Structure 1
Amino acid sequence: PLGGDSPGGDSPGPSCDAGDFIEHAEFWGDVVVDGTQNLKTSASTCCEACAKIRSCRIWVWNPDTKQCWLKADERERPEPVAEGASVAWTSGVLPARKGPTVKYAPAKDVADPPPPPKCLHTVLTSSGNAYMNWQTRIMYQTYLKHAAEPGSVMKAFTRILHRGKDDELMMEVPTMRFDPNQGKCDTWCDYPVADRSLAVAQWSQTTDSMRCSHVMMVETDYIYVKSPSPHILMPPGKAIGFEYSYIYPQDLNMKRVYEEYMREHADELGRSEWKREKFALPRTGNAPSCLNVEDLRRVAPLWAEFVARTEKPEEVRKALGWLRDMYAYDAAALAVGVEHVVAPTPRTPLMAQPPADETIGDAFLLHYTWGPEIYDGKDEKLWVFDKRSYGGGQHQRGPYRLSEIPDPPRWDPAAGLQLQDFFQPRTLSESKLELIRLMIDEFNEAVGKLPRIPKGHKTLEEAQAMAA
């Protein structure tokens, strides 16, 4: 990790006292480690395995099958779901672990810091799961390639990892790790991005955030295809975002959350005039976006606050769904007065999304989220690339084996090339095909530079242990 001292892993876990073991009792909870894949010879070794994982509070061991299930439970006092002589399991509950496992040098401790140089610091957020990590490796390689271009404004890269322990990419990708609110997301949870905003807010207060004047927030499934123009480095108070048509500027649920907060805190923000303004969220999200680092320091804590406020009540959480993190970012930017200039492709200077977009325009990022399928005029499938099935699918053991993607077909005006039914009209133009080809070329070039085992590990087994 950059910018401070880190123990490089979990803090010492709680001790396992045989007197605390509960025989003939079973507990439920969110699975941290699947017991069918985690056999232990005794209850003690099962407990010790739980103690090594910050998010684990409950261990359940079967003396017959040797299965050791490790589970998370956020309740103050978990209770067994079954007890008695007929229950084979031996279980235990460990105390919740609190406090940070990592510490970094805070920016506020730097006396009279000089203004940061005018440059761009790429910031990528991740929960560190194996699916996001193969994408991260590729993204970082494309960053390195284009940051090396003459005159590039890209001068720094940090992966912000919201996870309770280090992972297999700590020594390959510049990383700062921050403890998540949802410890269970180290393995699986239904909304891991809920921890993103707090991690970004914490990072923005470290000395690592002082390296450049501007921050470029990206996702793991983006790739750089060129270095951005210096024109995206906007003055304080202005930012560049990417237009998402599914964000509604007057969303009523987010309006209620926003107004409730502003009634309580507008004076603290110096925004007493907010009531006279029309409520209009920018149609964007946190990524991709480029903003002044000082503006990020104002936006990020409030972004985290709005994320928390969209989790409850239940009707707000359900209404906003997976977009609540994006809406929270937009509301935070509106609240502190950071104007986001947004535009769709091809007018945006940020990103294009093959094959939805016809051309790259002025963009320097490509987003491979659409999973293009190419068919001939007889509807025979010729080619496909979908990140969700790459490397065997989303739930493979990390680190993934990376492989190059076959080249898409060459342009042939007589072939009647077309896309899958999702796209209407289905016709695949020559320019769309060339945009797909650019994406695949950059992707494959990055794959070709990456070893099977991430940097810093001697064996695949060592890397797999860190990925677990």
Structure 2
Amino acid sequence: MGRASDLFLVLLVLGSSFVAYNVVTMIIHYSSSQNLVVDSMDDGLLLDPIVEKPKNLKKQKTTRAPFHIALTATNAPYGQWQCRIMYYWYKQKRNLPGSEMGGFTRVLHSGRPDNLMDEIPTVVVDPLPPGLDQGYIVLHRPWAFVQWLQQATIEEEYILMAEPDHIFLTPLPNLAYGGHPAAFPFFYIKPEQNEKIVRKYYPEEFGPVTNIDPIGNSPVIIEKNLLAEIAPTWMNVSLKMKQDPETDKAFGWVLEMYAYAIASALHGVRHILRKDFMLQPPWDLETKNKYILHYTYGCDYNLKGELTYGKIGEWRFDKRSYLQGPIPKNLPLPPPGVPESVVTLVKMMNEATSNIPNWDSSS
């Protein structure tokens, strides 16, 4: 990489520091180069046939490498009930054989404590100043991680960046390998198809846009020190993207995901792409050989068990139906014919709500 590239990255990192300084000021004022794709849960890293593993990954790890689970959240009821369910399943899976799950932190970017402080390990950080997110609440995430990494004492050397709507299906090992973080590949993150916009933040001297992995920041397992380097750049790129009308229009609700992918590439970081890291019903039909269930999409079916996506079904589960309070206990099971992934989701929801104390409208 030439001098121009080095200068750009220095300026960007300095810009990140400058943005961070300005954010703090405003808060006070307002009071290896290869794309690694892994198909299955296999310690030998079953690879997509067109992809090879870098030489420095040929050796299998022989020691445990615990990782800390961190998720950013608000104090809104919608996020609170999801965090409670996620934390329940973390506790169920953490100490099982095969797990390398370490400590847990909810990074609460409301700027003040809430009523879950005694239930879930939590660190309170500041939100962005009013109006800076332009209604895009996910923009608080990189700023929350910057603050948390600066102030927290984290025993583990690795961090899993997770989200409230994640459920651990099985004990999760550390899928990262040294300086290669592990991430889930999203089909809708397409740097090559958006090269004109991407080049605003990833100049040509850094290399082809294929250096940018098709990922977001979650789920990602990454070395703590590496994340501390990337996070300010991630924040800076996110803010710049949101302030650019063309980028904002093109990337929409996945803007912050692109920002993390680009920030990682600017630091020369490539991720091991683990297809088995996560599944997303209703599109993924089975939970077999998957680690995390992500219930971001609505699940709508008729009584014949047929998917009616885009149309409210006779049977449905959609987390957005519960914006003002927690899901009820004992959700009805789907009708016969609905995929196993959706049935598992409902059963795990019901188990959690039956065992979490004080699961009611006061959550």
TM-score in terms of structure 2 length: 0.75
Distance 2:260 2:99 in 1: 28
1:386 maps to a residue whose letter is D
Partner of 2:112: 165
Matched, 1:204 2:149: yes
**Are 2:108 and 2:125, in contact at CA under 8 Å, matched by a contact in 1?**
yes
Q: Could you tell me whether the CA contact under 8 Å between 1:223 and 1:443 is conserved in 2?
A: no
Partner of 2:299: 372
In the alignment, the residues of structure 2 paired with residue 453 and residue 363 of structure 1 have an alpha-carbon distance, to the nearest angstrom, of 28
For 1:200 and 1:168, the matched residues in 2 are separated by 22
Aligned to 2:334, which of 389, 408, 419?
408
Match of 2:205 in 1: 275
Match of 2:316 among 375, 379, 384: 384
What does 1:307-346 align with in structure 2 at a 5 Å threshold? Answer: 307-343=238-274
**What is the alpha-carbon distance in structure 2 between the residues aligned to residue 443 and residue 159 of structure 1?**
20
d(CA) in 2 for partners of 1:255, 1:352: 31
Quote the residue 1:18 is aligned against: none
Q: What is the percentage of aligned positions where both structures have the same residue?
A: 31
Matched with 1:241 is 183
Answering whether residue 137 of structure 2 is matched by residue 192 of structure 1, we say: yes
Matches within 5 A, 1:75-154: 98=28, 118-154=65-101
Other structure's SS at 2:272 match: strand
Structure 1 gap segments, 5+ residues each: 1-95, 102-116, 260-273, 411-416, 418-427, 464-468
Q: In 1, distance between residues paired with 2:87 and 2:184?
A: 21
Aligned-residue offset at 1:224: 0.8
Q: Deviations over 1:403-458 (max 9, x none)?
A: 23112234xxxxxx4xxxxxxxxxx5xxxx2222222222111111122369xxxx
The aligned residue for residue 88 of structure 1 is none
- Tell me what 2:234 maps to: 303
The structure-2 alpha-carbon separation of the partners of 1:99 and 1:291, relative to structure 1 and needing over 3 Å to count, comes to farther
Pairwise CA distance, 1:168: 1.9
> Which one-letter code corresponds to 1:244 in the other structure?
F
Q: Tell whether 2:344 aligns with 1:438.
A: yes
Q: Does 1:156 align with 2:103?
A: yes
Question: Which amino acid in 2 is paired with 1:349?
Answer: D
Contact 2:168 2:292 in 1 (8 A): yes
Structure 2 residue ranges without an equivalent (≥5):
1-25, 32-63
Offset, 1:213: 1.9
Per the alignment, do residues 189 and 405 of structure 1 end up closer, same or farther by CA in structure 2, a change over 3 Å counting?
Answer: farther
The answer as to whether partners of 1:100 and 1:179 remain within 8 angstroms in 2 is no
- Tell me, in whole angstroms, the C-alpha distance in 1 between the residues paired with 2:114 and 2:305: 46
Cα distance 1:385–1:234, how it changes in 2: closer, same or farther (>3 A)? same
* Counterpart contact for 1:159–1:175, Cα < 8 Å: yes
Cα deviation, 1:341-381, whole Å, max 9, x if unaligned, reads 225xxxx1310111201323432100112221222449795
1:187-226, CA deviations, whole angstroms, 9 ceiling, x for partnerless residues?
x962111111011122122343x31121111111111111
Aligned-partner residue type, residue 362 of structure 1: N
Q: Is the 8 A contact 1:134 1:402 kept in 2?
A: no
2:15 corresponding residue in structure 1: none
Q: Which residue is 1:5 aligned to?
A: none
Cα separation, partners in 2 of 1:97 and 1:215, compared to 1, 3 Å: closer
RMSD over equivalenced CA pairs, Å = 2.9
Work out which of the two has the higher radius of gyration on C-alpha atoms and give 1 or 2: 1
TM-score with structure 1 setting the length: 0.59
Indicate the SS of the match to 1:233.
coil
Kindly provide the amino acid, as one letter, of the partner of residue 249 in structure 1. P
Q: Is the 8 A contact 1:350 1:363 kept in 2?
A: yes
Give the whole-Å Cα distance in 2 for the aligned partners of 1:219 and 1:387: 14
- 1:295 alignment partner, SS class: helix
Q: Deviations over 1:271-330 (max 9, x none)?
A: xxx726212221110011111112111111110010111122323222222221011100
Task: Say if 1:370 and 1:287 are closer, same or farther in 2 by CA, change over 3 A.
Answer: same
8 Å CA contact 2:98–2:173 kept in 1: the answer is: no
**1:401 Cα deviation from its structure 2 partner:** 6.2
Cα drift, residue 339 of structure 1: 0.7
Change (3 A) 1:177 1:195: same
